Structure 1
Amino acid sequence: MFFQGNQVATENDCEEYEIDNIWSQLDPTMDIETKNENEKTELKMNESDTFVSKTQTFWKKYVSSGNVTKNVSKTTKINDTKTSVTKSLDIWENYFNGDSITKYVLRRVGDHKYQFVHKSCQEYYAAQKIIFDIISWKPNVVDLNNQQFQQEFETHVQKLFINRKLLNEELGIIQFIAERIHDNSPIFVNLKSRLFRIIESSKNNENVSIAAANAITILNSANIDMDYQNWSNVKIPYAILDHAFLEGTDFSNANLDHVHFYQTCLTKVNFTNASMNDIYFGEYAYLEGHSDIVWGIQFSPDRTKAVSYSYDKTIRIWDIASSNQLCILKGHSDNICGVQFSHDGSKIVSCSRDKTIRIWDVLSGQQIQILEGHSSAVSAVQFSLDCSKIVSSSDDKTIRIWDVSSGEQVKLLEGHSDSVNTVQFSPDYSKIVSCSKDKSIRIWDISSGTQLQLLEGHLDDVAGVHFTSNGLNIISYSNDKTIRIWDVASGQKIQILEGHTAKINGIQFSPDDSKLLSYSNDATIRLWDLLSGKQLQVLEGHIHWVIIARYSSDSSKIVSGSGDNTIRLWDVSSGKQIQVLEGHSSVITGVEFFSNEHKILSCSADSTIRVWDIALEKKIQLTGGDLGIMSDVKFSPDGSKIVSCSMDKTIRLWDVQSGRQTQVFEGHSNIVYGVLFSLDGSKIISCSGDNTIRVWDALSGKQIQLLKGHSNAVNCIQFFSDNSRLVSCSKDKTIRIWDISSGRQIQLLQGHSDNVNRVKISPDESKIVSYSNDKTIRVWDVSSGDQLLLEGHTGVVYGASFSPDGTKIISCSGDKTIRIWNTSSRDQILLLKGHQHFILDAQFFPDSTKIVSCSADNTIRIWDILTGKQVQILEGHSDRVFEVQLSSDGSKIFSRSGDKTIRIWDVSSGKQIQLLEGHNGIIRSISISPDGSKLVSCSLDKTIRLWGSDNGKIIDVTERNSVDYIWKVGNQRGLSMKSSIWKDTEGVTSQQKLLVKQRGGTF
C-alpha cells in the first residue's frame, strides 16, 4: 500500500487527473453546511506546478491495494493554508533540482518513477485524501433540513474512499484523521458530523459498512463520546471500539460482528437482536467463588489447574481451560498464609494463622492430613521433591520438618529469635534456608537438623530468601531496601544490590538464571544482572506499591500487579510499559502468565480472579484525553471553571460550560495531592509528593511562586481569606503557614509524631485544627503557634473540623467513635458510638444542632448534638462511604463511596432521592458548585464528570427530578456493562455471556 518498498508510481500513472481537480479536493472551499462566508477558503494553484498532479494516482492505488504495511509513525501537523501549500511546491522544485532527498517525501527510484521516503508521509497524504473526500461533498440544493441533507448525503457515501477498505491495519491513518477532528481550522468544522452521518448511512445500506466501521473507529480514536446514540440497525463489522464511551447507546438489530470492545463503557447499552459473532472483550469471565480478599494463586505443575487461597479461609482449585471451580477446600479456621502443589500435582499443602498445616488431595478435595505443633501462625510451607516431607516456618520462631504419610513432626529447628518469615529447600534437598524478623538468614542441614551457617548483614526484617538453581548462592531481600547475594559454603556476602527506596516485596529469577527482578513499595520494578550485581533496568509506571511481578517463560516480558489496582505488562529489552490492564477495584495480590504467554491470571483484594487476553498486538491510539488517576477536583469561586490534579503530576483547568481543557499546569515532579482556587479565583495553589507547594496564575498558566520547606510529601493546603497566606501539612509531621507573595514561611508548627493528614482553619481564622496518624488532634493558635492537644482516640483520626461558630471541633476515627471537643478548653463534650467500622468523615450541619458521619460499615448516620443520640441511619451504599457533604441549607446530603456511586439523600425523610452512576472506578473527590447548580466528580477510572439536574440546581433536586452527567472528560478505563441489555443477541459465546452477567448485563 502507498508505494513503500516495491510499490512505485510512474509519471504515466498520474496523467488521468487534472491539477485543479486534485487540489480542489485536498483544500476545498468551505463546506456549504457552515453557511459562514468568512470561514470559506479557496486555493489557487500555479498552472506551472505540474508535479503536484503526478501524485494523484497514489490515492487510487492506496484504496485499491491489498498489501498492508504495518509500521506506524508519528507525524507533525501541517497547516492547511495557502502558505503551507506554496512551501510544499518549493520543496518539490528544490527536490528535482538535486537537493537532498532526506528532506522530502518522495525519492526517485528510476526513470520517471518515485516512492515515498517514509511510511508517515504515505499515511499523512492518504488521510488528507480521505478527509477532503468526505468534507468536500456538497448537496445539489443549498437549504436542506437535516433529514433531507442526510438522505442526499447517503447516496454519496458508497462512493467515498473511506468505504473502499478497512483501515484497521493502518492505525497511523486513523490517528491522522482523528487529530483533524480536534483541529481548530474552519476547514475541518464538519468532519466530525460527517463521520456520524456515515455511521447513520449504514442503517439503510449494508454496502457502506466499511465506511461506517472506519468512521466509528476514527471517532473513537479521537476520544469522542458516543453515548446515548440511536444506532439501531447500524452495520459496523470490524470496528475498533476499545476504550469507547458508549453509555446508553442503542445497538439493537445492529451488525457488530468482529467488533472490539476492549475496556469499553457499555453501561445501559441496548444490544437486543444484534449480530455479535467473534466480538472481542480482551478479558474473560471471573473465576467466581471467593467471598473475600484473594491472597494468591499458583498453577499446577502441568499448568492445567490453578489453586487460590483467600481471607474467606477457603482454598479453591480451578480448571484453567473452562474456568470452572473443581474443588473447594475448607478446614482452616483463620487466614491462610500460603499454598503449594506437590511436584506431581496430586496434593496441595496449605498453612494458616490457625497454627496448622493441612494436606489435601487435588482430585477429591479431601483433607488427607492436619499437621499440628506450631504455637503461632504458620508463615510458609514447601513440599520436598519426592513429596515425602514438608518444611514449615512460623511466627513461633521455629522451623519444622514433617513426614507427609504419617503427619508426624520429624525435626524441630530452633535458633531464630523472632518470627520466621519463610523457608525453602535447596535444589538438592539436602539443606534448608530460613529468614526472620530477627534480621538473620540461617542455613540448616536436613539430615541432622543442625545450623550450618548464620548470615548476618541486613539492617531490618528479612522478608524473603531463595536458593539459586545451582544451590551455590542465596539471594535475600529485606525491609532495609536491599537485596543481598550470599555464598552458601562460606556464608560470606558476595553482593549488595541497592537502588530501591522502600521495602522490597519480592524477587524472581529469570528463567535462564542470569537476571533477577525485584519489586518494591517504591512503586518500581528493578532488573539486576546476577553476575555483576549491576542494575539493568528500572521499570516505572505504577503509582503505588508493586506487590507482585513475574517473568514470562522466555524472559521477554514481565507482568506486575500493584496497590494502584492495575496490572502492567513490560518489555524487558526496552524497559517500556506495553499494556495496562484495568478492571480490578482493589489491590492486585497475584499475577501469572499462562496459555503460551498470551493470557494473564490475576487475583485481587476485590475477591475476584480474572483472566486477561494480552495477545492482541494492534491497539488503537486515542488522541489525547488520558488524564491519569486524579486526586482532587474543585470549582472556581464563580463556578465557571474546574481545576483538577492528578497522579500524572499535572494540574488541569476546565471550562464548565463546554468541558474543554483550557490550561495544563506542569512543574511538579511527583503526584499532585491537592489543589485550590484562591478566593478571588485569580490563582491556583497545588501541593505535591515532591515536597513543594506551587502557586499558579489561573489565566496564563504560569507558576508564580514555589514554596519549599517541607521535607516530605505535602498532603493538604488551605487558604486564609485575605488571599495572602496559606497553611499546609505534610508527611514530615509538620504544619507550616506561608506568605504567598514572598514565598516565605511565617510559622512552623511542630508537635505531631506521625504523618499530618489534614488541616482546617477556624471560621474566625484565629485557630487551625490538625489531625494525624499519631491518633491525636491538635488546635493551634495562628498568632502565637501555641497548641492544644486533644487526646482520646485509640485509632487513626480520619477527620476533624470546626463547628460553624468555631466553638467546637468534631473528630472521627478508626476506633469507630465520633468525638466533640470544646475548642478553648480541650474538654471532650460528647462521645458517639454506633458505627461498626472505621468512621471516615464527619461534618456539622450548618445550624450546629446535628452532625452527619459516614463509615466503612457502608452507612451514613445523623446525630443530635444536644442528646448525643443517633437520629437517622441512611443505608444504600454497598461499599465504604468515604465522604459526606451537606447542602448550604442542610436539607441534602451528598455521599461518595467505594461502590463507585454518588448518592443524594433527603435529610428530613432519610431517603435516597438520587443515585449518580457512571464512574467505573472508586470516586476520589466531589465538589458542589458555589451556586449549588452542579456537582463535579473525579475517579480512579481517570475521568471527570460534571453532573446537573433538570430542575436547575442539584442542591434542590427531588425524587421527581432527574440528575445526569452533563459532560465527561478522560479516556474510558475498564470494561463496564452494568444494566446493558443482550436479549436475542447472535454469536455471543457461553463464556462471554457469563462475563456479561458478572458485569451486570442481562439476556
Structure 2
Amino acid sequence: MKHLMNNGLIFIIQTNPKKIKFAFQQYCQNLGFEMFMQGNQVATENDYKEYESNNIWSKLDPSMEVESKYMDEKLELKTNEDKTSVKKTYDIWEQYFNGDSIAKYVLRRVGDNKYQFLHKSCQEYYAAQKIIFDIISWKPNAVTVDNQQFQQQFETHVQKFSINHKLLNEELGIIQFIAEKIHDNNPIFVNLKSRLFRIIESSKNNENVSIAAANAITVLNSANVDMDYQNWNNIKIPYAILDRAFLEGTNFSNANLDHVRFYQTCLTKVNFTNASMNDIYFGEYAYLEGQPDGIMGIQFSSDGTKILSYSRDNIIRIWDTSSRKHLHVLKGHSDSIKMAQFSHDDSKIVSCSWAAIIIWDVLLGHQIQILDHLQSINLAVFSADDSKIASCSYDDTIRIWDVSSGKQIQLLSGHSSRATKLQFSPDNSKIVSCLNDNSIRIWDVFSGGQLLSLGRNENETIEVQFMSDGTKIISYANDKTIRIWDALSGQQLQLLEGHTDDINGIQLSSDGSKFLSYSWDKTIRIWDLLSGKQLQVLEEPSASNTVKFSLDGSRIASGSKDGTIRLWDVSSGKQIQALEGHLSYIINVEFFPNEPKILSCSADNTIRIWDISLERKIHLTEGYLDFVITVEFSHDGSKIASGSKDKTVRLWDVKSGRQIQIFEGHSDSVNGVLFLSDDSKIVSYSYDKTIRIWDVLSGKQLQLLEGHSSSVTKVHFSPDGSKLVSCSSDSTIRIWDILSGRQIGLLDGHSSIITDAQFLKDRYEIISCSWDNTIRLWNALSGNQIQIFEGHTSFINGIHISSDCSKFVSYSGLERKIRLWDISAGRELFLFESEGVTEARFSSDGTTIASSSKDKIIRLWDVLTSKQIQILKGHSDSVRGINFLLNDSKIISYSDDKTIRIWDVSSGKQIQVLEGHNGNISCIHLSPDGSKLVSCSTDKTIRLWGSDDGDIIDVTETSVVDYVWKVGVQSGLSMKGSIWKDAKGLEDEQKLLVKQRGGIF
C-alpha cells in the first residue's frame, strides 16, 4: 500500500510485487520470443512499441498468478510486504515500468533506436519461457476428460502454440533451456514432457503442426528422454534433430522424416516402412567393403582421389575415393606389411614387409621393383622428387635405391646399430636417421658419407624428421622430451618439455609454423616452432594413437585407444566433435584433402568415412557417461554402483534408474567398486594408484588409502569385513584396516603385475596370482609366504576359489591353459587346454568348471574326471566372462559381440540372448535375489534387465527378457534389425550404410 498526499487528499495506489514481477517476466518472454521469430538479436524501438503502449496489467492472467511463484528464483524481487515503504514501492515502479527505464535493466543500446538483451542467453531464456508456458498453461474444457478427449482438445490448440511458429534448430540455447525444465522437479513443469509427446502425436493428423512436432522431438532428445518403442507411424517431423537419440523399436512407418538428423543415433529395430527420408543426415558414410582382418594403415593420395590400405594378409588395396570401390589389389608380399605410402606424384607406391621392399605402379596395379636387405626391414621412404627410396633394416644398414632401375646406389654403414626411422631432406641431398644406439645421424645422399652425428640422448630417439625448409630437425625420445636441432651445425636449438609420459608421435602443420605432439599422458600439445612455446594443451579421456593437422592447420583430428575420433579447434584448443562407432582402438586418421570428411581405420578391421561439416551438434542436458568399466549391486538389491573411465563412481536407484549420488575424487579410471556388507559405504579402486571409501548417504570421501605406486588391479574384503586386501601393477599386495584407512600389512614377493589377490574365507590366508607366472599363498597376519604354485609358463590372468576353499582354478590366455590346484597339498591336479581363455569359474558345488575364451566358445569341465563335458556355441566374438546362476543349472555369459547369453548347463542349449548394447560389454552383475541383471558397456551405457515372467535366474526359452531401464547417452550409429521397406529418398550411399549396419530393405 502506498500513501500519497495531494492538497490534503490521500490517494491509495494498490501495488502487488508478484504481479509486477509476473508482468515483467511476460514482457521479457514476449520480447525474447519476438526477436527469435525475427531471427536476430537486435530490436529497434518500433519492434516492441506495442509492448510499451499496451496496458500490461490488463493482460494479467489470474490463473497464472499462482503459477508465477514457481518461476525462476534468479529473477525474483526481494521484497518485504510488511515493511514496504513509499521509497521501496517507488523503486519497484521506477525500475520496471516508468517510461524507458525497463530497457536499462533488460536491454542495452547498440545504436540509434536499437537495443539487444544484455546477453543472448537472456533472450534465449525468455523465448524458452514463452514457449514453455504456452504449452503448460493450456487447459481442457472440462476438469474430467479421458485421454482421448484430452488429446482431441489438445490437438486443436497445437497449431497456435509458439513452438509451432519457427524451427528451433539454429537456437540451441532455447532448446537447452526448455530441455532442462523437463527434468525440473518444480511441480509446474510436471506435464511438460507428456505434452511434448502429445504435440508429436498431433502431427499424425495435422501436417500444419509439423514445426511444433519437430521442435518437440528435438527438445525431448536434448533432454535425453528415451523414445524407444513409440508408435509414431504417420508423424511429421521434418528437420528434427535426433542426434544420439535412443529410438530402439520405434515405429516410423509412413512418417515424414525429411531432413532429419540421425547422427550417432540408436535405430535398432526401428520400422521406417514407407517413410519419407529425403536429405536425412547420418554423419557418416558406408565403410570400405572388402577389407579383411588385420588392417595396419591407410593413406590418401595427394590429390585425394585414391586411398591405399594395407593389412596383415600381405595385401595392399587401392580404392577410388568417390565410389569407395577397389581399383587394384596388390599381391606380392609373403608376410605382414609394415608400411605402405604413395609417392609424392601419386604414380607409385612403396611398401615393405619383414622380407622385402616392393615398388608398385598405381595406374596399372603392377609390381615394378623388389628390393632386398640381408635382414628384416624396418622402413622405406621416397625422396621428395620420387627418384630415390631410402630403406633401413635390422642388418644395421641404410640403403638408397634408384626407383627406375631398382639398383642400390648407396650403402650407408659404419654404425653398429640399426636405424629405426629415416627421412630425406626437402632438397633430396641429405637423409636424417635415428638409431637404436640413441643417436641421430645426418648423411650425404650422393657420397653416402656421414655428415653429422647429433648429440646422443640418454634415452632412445623414437622419431626424427626435417622441417619444411630443411634447416632444422625435430626429434622426440622416450624421455618425454622434444628437441629441435640445427641441420647444418648439429647443435641443439631447443629442448621442449611438458609431457609427463612417453610421447607417441609428432606432426608438423603444413605451413611449418606449428607442430603437435601426443603422448601416453592423454594430452595433445600444440607448439610454436619458432619460439618453442606451448600454445595449447588438449586433454583427452584416452591416449591417442594417431593425431593429424587439417590441411589449413585450423583443426586437429585425433584417434584414440578408446575407439573415438575427436575433432579439435587449434586456436581455442576446444573439442568440436567426438566421432564414435569404431569398436576398437584407432590405428590412423586422415583428413580428406578437399572435403569436410575424415577417413579412419581401426583394429575393428573397418575403414570408415565421417562427415564433419555440421559441427553444432545438439547438446544433451544430462546423462553423459564415459566408458563404464564396472557395475555392482548393493547387498539389499536396491542400488547399483558403477565405476567409469571418467574417474567417477556413481550410485543408481534400481527401481527408477535415477542417479542418486556421484562420488568424485579419483584422478584416473575407476577399475572396480564394492559395497560394504551393510551398504553404508562404497569402496572404489583406480588406475590413479588409490583406494577410496565413500559414504553412500552424503557422497563424501571417508578414507583415502594410499601406498601403491601403480594402478590398483583388484580389491577384496576379508571374511569378517573389517579389512581390505589390494593388489597392484607395482607387484605388491597390501592389507588395510577399513575403519582407520591405515595400511596394516605388505606382502612382497611377486616380480610383476599382480592380477588378483583374495582372502580364503575359512582361514586368515591370502592367495594371489601374477604376470610373473606364479600363484602364491600368504599368511595374512605375518605377511610370510606359505606356498608358491608353479607351472604356468605365461601371464596368469586370474584365479577362482572353490566354495569349500579346498581348490582353486587359474587361467592364462597367452598360455591357453587352465590349471586346477589343491590348496592344502600345494600341487596341480589337472590341466585343461582352452584357446585364449578369458575366465574360468567353479560351479557353487565345486563339481564343474566353466571357461570362456577368445575363440567364442564356453567349455564345461568335470572336476573329478578332468574331462570336457559340454561346449556352448553361439557368441560371434570373444567371450569376456561367464558365471553360474544360483542353482548351477544355467550359465550367463557376456561378449565382445555386444550380447549377453543365458545357457542351459545340461543340454548346452542357448536359452536367451540379451541384445541392445552398442559396444563391447565390460561387466555384468546379478542382483542378490537373482531377479535382475545389470550390465555396462564401452557404448557408455548401463542397462538393467528383467524378465516378464519372474526372475532372471528362472528364465526359459519362452521368457521375454528385456531391459527395464538404461542410463547414459547413445554412442555410435546402430541400425541392427531396422526395417527400411519402401523408404523414400535415401541415397545409394545411405542404403549401403544401412545394409552394412544390419538394416533390412
Query: Is TM-score (shorter-chain normalized) higher than 0.5?
Result: yes
Label 1:99 to 1:842 Cα distance change in 2 as closer, same or farther (>3 A): farther
Residue equivalent to 2:144: 143
Residue equivalent to 2:930: 932
> Given the alignment of the two structures, is residue 294 of structure 1 paired with residue 295 of structure 2, yes or no?
yes
> Given the alignment of the two structures, is residue 558 of structure 1 paired with residue 556 of structure 2, yes or no?
yes
Label 1:263 to 1:22 Cα distance change in 2 as closer, same or farther (>3 A): farther
Residue 130 of structure 2 aligns to a residue in which SS? helix
Q: Distance in 1 between matches of 2:133 and 2:897?
A: 47
Label 1:655 to 1:601 Cα distance change in 2 as closer, same or farther (>3 A): same
Contact 1:290/1:312, CA 8 A, preserved across alignment: no
Select the residue among 42, 55, 79 that pairs with 1:5. 42
Q: Distance in 2 between matches of 1:765 and 1:206?
A: 74
Please state how far the C-alpha of 1:286 moved relative to its aligned partner. Answer: 0.2
Q: Distance in 2 between matches of 1:391 and 1:968?
A: 55
Provide Cα deviations, 1:82-107, integer angstroms capped at 9, x if missing partner: 97999999767436789999993335
Provide Cα deviations, 1:196-240, integer angstroms capped at 9, x if missing partner: 001001111111101100000000000000000000000000000
> Given the alignment of the two structures, is residue 712 of structure 1 paired with residue 749 of structure 2, yes or no?
no
Residue equivalent to 1:572: 570
Contact 2:505/2:519, CA 8 A, preserved across alignment: yes
Q: Distance in 2 between matches of 1:449 and 1:805?
A: 73
Pairs aligned (count): 955
Provide Cα deviations, 1:592-625, integer angstroms capped at 9, x if missing partner: 1115451111111111111111110322110110
Residue equivalent to 1:19: 57
Q: Distance in 1 between matches of 2:171 and 2:401?
A: 61
Q: Distance in 2 between matches of 1:91 and 1:626?
A: 43
Residue equivalent to 2:375: 375
Q: Distance in 1 between matches of 2:720 and 2:94?
A: 65
Residue equivalent to 1:428: 427
Label 1:931 to 1:197 Cα distance change in 2 as closer, same or farther (>3 A): same
What are the residue-to-residue correspondences of 1:507-522 with 2, within 5 Å?
507-522=506-521
Residue equivalent to 2:387: 388
- Unaligned ranges ≥5, structure 1: 30-40, 45-75
Residue equivalent to 1:809: 808
Matched residues, percent identical?
Answer: 64
What are the residue-to-residue correspondences of 1:776-925 with 2, within 5 Å?
776-787=774-785, 788-813=787-812, 814-833=814-833, 835-836=834-835, 838-925=836-923
Q: Distance in 2 between matches of 1:844 and 1:664?
A: 35
Q: Distance in 1 between matches of 2:101 and 2:839?
A: 68
What are the residue-to-residue correspondences of 1:142-291 with 2, within 5 Å?
142-291=143-292
Q: Distance in 1 between matches of 2:895 and 2:109?
A: 64
Residue equivalent to 2:466: 467
What are the residue-to-residue correspondences of 1:683-722 with 2, within 5 Å?
683-722=681-720
Provide Cα deviations, 1:818-842, integer angstroms capped at 9, x if missing partner: 0112223331111111x23x21111
Match for 1:510: what amino acid?
Answer: S
Please state how far the C-alpha of 1:769 moved relative to its aligned partner. Answer: 2.1
Label 1:732 to 1:778 Cα distance change in 2 as closer, same or farther (>3 A): same
Contact 1:24/1:43, CA 8 A, preserved across alignment: no
Residue 924 of structure 1 aligns to a residue in which SS? strand
Match for 1:487: what amino acid?
Answer: D
Label 1:448 to 1:595 Cα distance change in 2 as closer, same or farther (>3 A): closer
Residue equivalent to 1:632: 630
Please state how far the C-alpha of 1:266 moved relative to its aligned partner. Answer: 0.3
Please state how far the C-alpha of 1:575 moved relative to its aligned partner. Answer: 1.3
Q: Distance in 1 between matches of 2:77 and 2:154?
A: 29
Single out whichever of 195-204 and 514-523 deviates more from structure 2: 514-523
Please state how far the C-alpha of 1:116 moved relative to its aligned partner. Answer: 2.2
Residue equivalent to 1:344: 345
Please state how far the C-alpha of 1:109 moved relative to its aligned partner. Answer: 8.0
Q: Distance in 1 between matches of 2:111 and 2:383?
A: 71
Please state how far the C-alpha of 1:111 moved relative to its aligned partner. Answer: 11
Contact 1:23/1:43, CA 8 A, preserved across alignment: no
Contact 2:808/2:823, CA 8 A, preserved across alignment: yes
Residue equivalent to 2:28: none
What are the residue-to-residue correspondences of 1:721-760 with 2, within 5 Å?
721-760=719-758
Residue equivalent to 2:949: 951
Please state how far the C-alpha of 1:247 moved relative to its aligned partner. Answer: 0.3
Please state how far the C-alpha of 1:435 moved relative to its aligned partner. Answer: 1.5
Residue 564 of structure 1 aligns to a residue in which SS? coil
Q: Distance in 1 between matches of 2:920 and 2:69?
A: 52
Match for 1:19: what amino acid?
Answer: W
Q: Distance in 1 between matches of 2:898 and 2:80?
A: 51
Residue equivalent to 2:26: none
Please state how far the C-alpha of 1:875 moved relative to its aligned partner. Answer: 1.3
Single out whichever of 447-456 and 971-980 deviates more from structure 2: 447-456
Q: Distance in 2 between matches of 1:994 and 1:421?
A: 42
Please state how far the C-alpha of 1:460 moved relative to its aligned partner. Answer: 3.0
Provide Cα deviations, 1:136-171, integer angstroms capped at 9, x if missing partner: 111112222111211121111111111111111111
Label 1:82 to 1:384 Cα distance change in 2 as closer, same or farther (>3 A): closer
Contact 1:396/1:420, CA 8 A, preserved across alignment: no
Contact 2:385/2:428, CA 8 A, preserved across alignment: no
Label 1:408 to 1:24 Cα distance change in 2 as closer, same or farther (>3 A): farther
Match for 1:973: what amino acid?
Answer: S
Residue equivalent to 1:970: 968
Q: Distance in 2 between matches of 1:185 and 1:83?
A: 20
What are the residue-to-residue correspondences of 1:590-601 with 2, within 5 Å?
590-596=588-594, 598-601=596-599
Provide Cα deviations, 1:317-360, integer angstroms capped at 9, x if missing partner: 1111222221111221221111111222111110012x101111
- Unaligned ranges ≥5, structure 2: 1-34
Contact 2:551/2:593, CA 8 A, preserved across alignment: no
Q: Distance in 2 between matches of 1:684 and 1:800?
A: 24
Please state how far the C-alpha of 1:490 moved relative to its aligned partner. Answer: 2.5
Q: Distance in 2 between matches of 1:100 and 1:526?
A: 50
Label 1:385 to 1:546 Cα distance change in 2 as closer, same or farther (>3 A): same
Contact 2:242/2:261, CA 8 A, preserved across alignment: yes
Please state how far the C-alpha of 1:541 moved relative to its aligned partner. Answer: 1.6
Q: Distance in 2 between matches of 1:490 and 1:761?
A: 63
Provide Cα deviations, 1:157-194, integer angstroms capped at 9, x if missing partner: 11111111111111111111100000001101100000
Residue equivalent to 2:997: 999
Q: What TM-score, normalized by structure 1, do the two folds share?
A: 0.92
Provide Cα deviations, 1:799-858, integer angstroms capped at 9, x if missing partner: 11211111112111021000112223331111111x23x211110111111101111111
Q: What TM-score, normalized by structure 2, do the two folds share?
A: 0.92
Residue 797 of structure 1 aligns to a residue in which SS? coil
Provide Cα deviations, 1:775-811, integer angstroms capped at 9, x if missing partner: 2222222122122222222222111121111111211
Residue equivalent to 1:70: none
Match for 1:267: what amino acid?
Answer: T
Match for 2:399: what amino acid?
Answer: R
Provide Cα deviations, 1:117-146, integer angstroms capped at 9, x if missing partner: 221111111111111111111111222211
> Given the alignment of the two structures, is residue 359 of structure 1 paired with residue 359 of structure 2, yes or no?
yes
Contact 1:769/1:801, CA 8 A, preserved across alignment: no
Contact 1:550/1:560, CA 8 A, preserved across alignment: yes
Contact 1:128/1:177, CA 8 A, preserved across alignment: yes
Label 1:756 to 1:100 Cα distance change in 2 as closer, same or farther (>3 A): farther
Please state how far the C-alpha of 1:491 moved relative to its aligned partner. Answer: 2.3
Residue 953 of structure 2 aligns to a residue in which SS? helix
Residue 968 of structure 1 aligns to a residue in which SS? strand
Label 1:417 to 1:959 Cα distance change in 2 as closer, same or farther (>3 A): farther
Residue equivalent to 1:37: none
RMSD: 2.4
Residue 612 of structure 1 aligns to a residue in which SS? strand
Single out whichever of 423-432 and 445-454 deviates more from structure 2: 445-454
Q: Distance in 2 between matches of 1:650 and 1:765?
A: 34
Please state how far the C-alpha of 1:891 moved relative to its aligned partner. Answer: 1.2
Residue equivalent to 1:123: 124
Q: Distance in 2 between matches of 1:101 and 1:379?
A: 74
Match for 1:460: what amino acid?
Answer: N
Please state how far the C-alpha of 1:22 moved relative to its aligned partner. Answer: 4.5
Label 1:507 to 1:155 Cα distance change in 2 as closer, same or farther (>3 A): same
Residue equivalent to 2:19: none
